Each structure stands twice: as structure tokens, then as C-alpha cells.
Structure 1
Amino acid sequence: MIDRDHAWPVPVRRTLDNGLRALCVPLPHLHTAHVLLFVRVGSRFEASEESGLSHLLEHVLFRGCAAYPSTFELNTAFEACSSGLDAATSRDFTTFDASCTPKNVPRVLELLGAMMSAPTFADVEVEKQVIEEELQDELDSSGRDVDCDNLAKLALFPGPGLGAKIGGRLRRIERYDEDDCRRWFERHYTGLNMVCAVAGPVDAEATLDAIGAFLGGLPRGEARSLATPTMRADLPALEYVRHAGSQTDLQLAWATVAETHPDWPALLFAQRVLDDGSCSRLRHRVVDQLGLAYHAGAEFEIYQGISVLAIETQTRHSMVIRTLDALLEVAQAMGTDPIDDAEFERVRSRIAFELTSVRDAPGTAAYWFGLQDLHDGSDTPEERASRLARVTQDEVRAAWARHILMGKVQLTVVGDLAPLDRAALRRRLHRLRAPAREGAIAARARAATAG
């Protein structure tokens, strides 16, 4: 558990007149500060005809503003007072952030305000070329997407929204112009769709005043909401894309409960049992014992209203079936085999350490509390540590058995498999479907009996 002698700081919050939520996390024991702006915009907000527009706009905003009318001038201003401005577009939101000394926090906020208040939307055509280069590592020589995670998301969540590629489709991006960027900016870059978080050794009230001074003049706008994602109905399913690289990428993915669900802490615990350090289950079995891959891991991706658990690795084409069997073996065992006390306590202590160490990282603290505000949450690191401290081995197994069903998996394979191995993949899928069919028949029978 978190050391109570050094209590977690309490964020100081203020909602500006334009709806922007501002917060400051005082960390007086540190020497650097972090400024982070969340914007509720990303690929999940895009219709098919808007694919990649959020990511393009993020790039275009660096092309200058009224006060700093070029990329060079804007970046020079940021780098004179901070580590430089970084930005990232995700599915649920976009971020702009910089680390700096405490005395430079107002200056960074001033520059962010200038950038968001009067962007020039210049050089859109040049930035489209930059994005085309950025997206090349996800494509093969013929322009097909061969990124395993992109393909898995699209297969699991068909259509626009959560399954859409963050960077978008190149043919769609080629059509965008300044007017498209301006329209998307005016829709999403407004006070009601923003959270600004600052963490570090700063005065909270003065920092909130600075946020208000430099970002409080943005238009209020209309709050944007996310639609419930549409999930594939015919799971388990296989997506195989032939790609003649040196290895095959494998991913097993499940859509599962949101962060607010009572079972979510137990599922997070399960993911950490699978992949948290060199002695975790996936690495121990797939790498250390069988030597089938250099790395095997599990990611628990958190989105608003839903989570995705993904188990993934890369291996030689000829080892795909053996590797898949090993991944399935480890995954199935999570719902049946006991977790011994030493393994369980090791994971628990590592989680507690990770949560405690957030107090020493202003960027992580700003991200944690800012994202909670963006998603209308209230979970603090201390509260999460307390919830995780109450999780038991039996609850982990039970949550896994309830939510991570082998008959609900999306299997995605990108590689160059021999015909016999492709047939073996289909046989594996058929075996996974059998329990799913039996479960559906039993459910219908129970419903009929109840009726």
C-alpha cells in the first residue's frame, strides 16, 4: 500500500467560465513541473469521411499561430522555456505537453494559449506529406496496412470509431485542406472539451490563475461525447494478412469491461500476472521455457466506457502454431489455475510501488489527474492502490473466467504462413468456437426455461 507518512497531494481544481477544467497537483518536493493539455478529440470521434483528421490537425497546429507564425518560431519559443512541446493523438483524446522549471510554467501556458487561440492552419499540404511518411511503417510496399494492432482493432470494432486507425487512411488524408482543419478545430478545440493539468513545485492558485489568463478566452463550444463502440458479433474470429517479413505478428484481443466496473481491478491484476517483469507468466512460458519468441506481453488498454486486453508476440513463420498454442495455454490457465501466494504478492507490491512512484513524476501525476477529469472520473492513485490491495486470488480467476472467454477472442495474424499452418490456424479457431456455441445454446435453454 502507499506510504501514509507521505500522503498523496490533493489536486486543486477550478472550472473556467468557458468550461475548461483546470487543475494543479502541488508536488513541493520536486524540482521540475509539467504542463499538460487534454483535448477531447481523436479517431473515435471521426466518421468514415473524417478518418485521420484529428491526427492531421494535431500536426497542423505546430505550423504556427498569429504570435509565432511559423513552425520554427513556435518551436523556438517553446524550447526557450521548456523541454519543447510534445503532442500525441489517441483514440479518445489528444494531448499537448511540456516539462519546464516551475518559474516557466506561466510562459508555457502563455504559448499554449497563443497556439490554441489563433492557429494559422498554414502548410497543410506539407504536413500531409509528413504524415504520409509517418504512416509508411504500418504499410507494405503495395500500401496495405500490415500493423497487427491496427488490424486487430478494426476486426474487433468494425467501422468508424474505436476500431478506426488513428493516423487515418492515406487516400482520405490526401483530400483534406485548410477548411477541413479549421472546421475540426472549431468543433473540438473549445473550453468544454479541454482539461489543463499542471503538476510540480508550483503555487496552485497562481497556476490556476495563469491557466485562466491564457486559456480562459477560448470559445466555450459544445461538449463532444463518444458513441458506444460496435463490437464484432461473430467472435471468436481470425484475421490473417499475408506479409513476407522476417517474422509473424500474433495478437489475441478481447473487448472487456470499463475502468469503472467492479471486476476491473481483478482484471488489471490478471494482466500484471501475465506481463509484469521478467518472471511474469507469458515471458516465463513463451520465452524462457520454450524459446519461441524474444518477447511476449499483455497490454490492458483503457478507453472511455470499455477496455481491451491484448496478448501479443512476434515469432518465426514456422513457429506460429506452437507459439499460438503456448499463448492460449497461458491465457486459459488464468481462469483455472491457482495463483500462488508468492507470485500474487510480488505483483501486488510492484503495482503499489508503481502507484507510489507517480508522486516523483510530475508528468505522470498531471496525466493521471487530468485524464480522470476528462473522463469525469474520480479515482486517485491512493484509492486505486486501496482497491487493488483488496483483490484476492480467487477474484482474479473468477473475473478472468467471466470476462476473458476463449470463445470471444479476436485472433490477428500478420505473416507468411505455409498452407498447412494456415489450416492449423483455422482448426484452432474451430476449437475455440465449440465452447462458445455450447455456451450460447445453454443460455438460450436457460432463457426458455425461465420464460
Structure 2
Amino acid sequence: MTHQDLVLPNGLTLVLVPQPAVHRAVAALYLRTGSRFETPDNNGISHFLEHMVFRGTPTLKSAHAQALAFERLGGTLYAATYVDHGVMSVSVPPRNFEQVIGLLGEVTTSPLFSDLEIERGIVREEILEDLDDDGRVIDADNLARAMMYEEHPLGYRITGGLETLARFDERMLRSHHARHYTTANAVLCLAGKIDEAACVKAVERAFGGMPRGSRVAATAPMNGQKKPRFSFVENQSSQTELRVAFRAVSERDRAEPSVEMLLRVLDDGMSTRLYERICDRLGLCYDVSGMFEAYEDDGVVDIAAGAAHERATVVLKEVFALVEELAAHGPTDEELEKAKNRHLWSVEAMLDDADAMASFYGLAALAGIARTPVARHEELAGVTRAQVRDAAQRVFRPERMSVVAVGLLSRAEENRMERAVKGFGG
């Protein structure tokens, strides 16, 4: 698989990934935006702006007209906001690709910002999903990040809160758009069955007016944590949600591939350690999962589980035992080989998936990580058992851990859970 990196005259990075054998073409615009680039006064504005770009353009006067324009070409505009980036993408039949590039350029560079109050009401409903009747945050993921990063933006909620949402106006949205929707903060990736020369011309027409701007800076988080952190939030629910989160490594850390393989040993299918132990063998949960998220200057390994209230502490102790075993002994040869093979097969599957290819190359270019899917696999394939063990020893430490429980625990059960947290690694 070959790809081509170009820079347009206005500074926009364009990545072309031709896949002649597929029957779709994908345009994905990645932007350096998200909650980590916000402040307490405007937290949530990146997410709200993502919603507002669906509300029409100078030639598509309404949200309906805009949606119809994309759907007539065989695609649906997708958008999402994450902690440190945003994406807008669309997949269409190749014969309609140049037209859809034009639409994507218009939507991202010339939003109308109309129907602000309607969209504010929609986002309000989204925010309410993470709150209880008293307005308290009950989403375990948000609570864990806030505990880990305290006042740093990496601990902010992507959606923000009701207070900030109420303050957003057109002036603030236009200011945020002018700062982040610029070529210095954007990568456009085109993948699938594409005519490269025609695509370049279409992008120049559609995105030529995007301003250059300047790259938005990110402030690195400090870590003054000395011991495990624990928080219990009472919530009327059928289960207690657990999050066991560890500060990990950044995407540029030499140990990043080892931490990725550590996560894959923990959770990459139902036969891996986490699911086999907690669900299959002990029957404590319906589901349990692990995640590794790397940023430019930090990272998080997170383990999530939901369990009956009376079982929550038992589940937590089993998670602790599992990560301590990996830190002590590392994975087996068989586990590591299976994880590497599964990654290789996922890379091969990308050859038939234009969306996955656009995502890989777009994110890699936005982060400034020069690699191909094959090069990434070679990186992971070179990881040894000892390196995974060392990564586990580095990450699974008391002073890196934050634990959140959201549900119904008796006072005695809460105390047992807190003692278990304090005793981790002791």
C-alpha cells in the first residue's frame, strides 16, 4: 500500500491513500481541536461547534438541506469530537467523490451558525445523559479523568457542562472556528478508489480558502500524585460501574508500543486475560474492557467493568490481581504471539476498508507520527515479553492509579473498596 503526502499552497496537509480494489471513496478531515484545548470558561465549545457545522452553509440554508445534499450523493456526513482532535468524514460511491469533497469543504469552512438555540437544546439533552436528577456527574469515565488530571484540560468533559453551554454564542463559536479550523491544525485524508490528480484539484477548489492560522498549543499535564486515588459516587442503578485508570505513556514515548501490546494482552477478544478471568472463569460481570489512549504528552490505560453492587469490590480485587501478575511475570509467549497475529490480521483487513485507512493515515499525520500500517505492525511485532512486563511495572503503580465507583454501596462495602485501593501495590 502506497500513500502520498502533499501540502497545498495554503498549508493544508493532504494525504492520498489509493485503494483501487474497493468500491468506496472516503474523505476525512482531522482537526486539532477538542476539550484539551479549552478553558473552564469555554469547556465544551469544540463539541458544540461540531454540532453547529451541521446547521447549513451559504448555499445549503438549513440542516435538512445540508444532510440531503450529502445523502443524494450516497453518503452521510459523520463528525465526532474527542479529547485532543475532531473529525468530519464521509464515504460515497467513487463517481460522486469530487462533488462530496466540495460539500465537505463548504461545510467546514463556511458554516452559517444558524438555529443556535435548537442545537443548544440538543446538546443539553446529550449532557443530561451523564448527570443525575440533582445535576451531579455520574459518568464513570468523566469522573475518572477529572480525578486523574484535576484542573488540567485532559480532565475536562468533552461535552462540557450546562453552565458553559448556556454561555456559547455566535461570537464565541466563530472565534473558536477561526482558531482551530485552519490549515495549521488540519489534515485531510482521501482514501479508497480515487483519481489522485482529480482529487487534488477538487481539494484545491474546496479547501483553498481555508486560512493558514497557527498551530494551537497544548499544555502538558503535571503529575504530583503520590498515592492511589479513590472516589465513590452514589447513584440509583442496577449495577456499580467501576473504572480503574492508570496514567500511562505518550504517543512519542519509546515504551508506547510495549504499552499497546500490554493492553492487547489484557483485552483483545474474549480469550484474553481480562474477559477470561472476570467473566468466563469467575462469572462476576457480563462484560469488562480495557483501553489505552495515548496523547502527545501523556496517556491513560483504563479498565472498565459493571457489576452487581455486592460484587463490585470482588471485581476490583480481581482486576488488581490480574495487573499485578502481568507486572510480576509479563505475558506468556503464546499470549504475545496471538496478540501480534491479531494485529497483523487487522492491518490486512484495512486493505478492504477505506474508512479505516483514512482514519489511520489522517490521525498519524495530524499527530506528526510518520508511519504506515505495516510500519506500525513492525513496531508492535518487535515488542518482547520482557518489554511488556517492564511496561506493566511502569504503568501499574499506586501513584499512577485512580479508581472510581458509581452505584449503590453500603458504607461497609465502600470502606472495603477504599481499603483495597489503598492496599494496591503494597
SS for the counterpart of 2:10 is: coil
- 2:413 maps to a residue whose letter is D
Q: Which moved more, 1:59-68 or 1:116-125?
A: 116-125
Q: Note if contact 1:138-1:146 (Cα within 8 Å) is conserved in structure 2.
A: yes
Deviations 1:308-342 (A, max 9, x none): 10011000111111111111011111111353322
Partner of 2:164: 172
Match in the other structure for 2:294:
302
Aligned twin of 2:417: 425
Question: For residues 160 and 407 of structure 1, do their structure 2 counterparts lie closer, same or farther at Cα, with a shift above 3 Å needed?
Answer: closer
Where do residues 52-67 of structure 1 align in structure 2 (5 Å cutoff)?
Answer: 52-67=44-59
Give the SS at the match of 2:199: helix
1:275-317: per-residue Cα shift (whole Å, max 9, x none)? 1111111111111111110011111112222221001100011
Deviations 1:238-259 (A, max 9, x none): 0211112110011111111112
Structure 2 residue identity aligned to 1:95: V
1:26 is matched with which residue: 18, 23, 37?
Answer: 18
Alignment coverage as a number of residue pairs: 426
Measured after TM superposition, the shift of residue 232 of structure 1 is 5.4
* Partner Cα distance (1:101, 1:115) in 2: 20
125, 128, 149: which one pairs with 2:120?
128
Aligned partner of 2:411: which letter?
P
One-letter amino acid of the counterpart of residue 243, structure 2: Q
Displacement, 1:373? 1.0
Cα contact 2:252–2:296 (8 A) shared by 1:
no
Q: Please give the alpha-carbon distance, in whole angstroms, between the structure 2 residues aligned to 1:338 and 1:24.
A: 39
Closer, same or farther: CA 179–166 of 1 in aligned 2, 3 Å: same
Determine the structure 2 residue equivalent to 1:399: 391
Aligned residues of 1:46 and 1:160 also touching (Cα < 8 A) = no
Residue in 2 aligned with 1:346? 338
Q: In structure 2, give the amino acid aligned to 1:400.
A: A
Please say if 1:311 is aligned against 2:303.
yes
TM-score, normalised with respect to structure 1: 0.92
- What is the one-letter code of the residue matched to 1:65? T
Deviation at 1:120, TM superposition (A): 1.1
Opposite residue 44 of structure 1, the aligned amino acid is R
CA contact (8 A) 2:98 2:198 kept: no
Residue 388 (str. 1) matches residue 380 (str. 2): yes
- Structure 1 runs (4+) deviating above 3 angstroms are none
Maintained 8 Å contact 1:253/1:409: yes
- DSSP-derived class of the 1:396 partner: helix
Q: Is 2:175 the counterpart of 1:183? A: yes
**Structure 1 residue 358: Cα displacement:** 1.3
Runs of 5+ in structure 1 lacking a partner?
A: 1-8, 436-451
State the match for 2:194 in structure 1: 202
- Contact map agreement 2:225 2:399 (CA 8 A) in 1: no
Q: Are the structure 2 counterparts of residues 56 and 345 from structure 1 closer, same or farther at C-alpha, using a change threshold of 3 Å?
A: same
Partner amino acid, structure 2, of 1:43: S
1:281 to 263, 273, 280: 273
Q: 2:259 aligns with which of 260, 267, 272?
A: 267
In 2, Cα distance between the equivalents of 1:340 and 1:118? 54
Q: Distance in 2 between matches of 1:405 and 1:31?
A: 48
Give the TM-score, by structure 2 length: 0.97
Aligned to 1:114: 106
2:347 alignment counterpart: 355
The RMSD of aligned alpha carbons is: 1.4
Structure 2, gaps ≥5 residues long? none
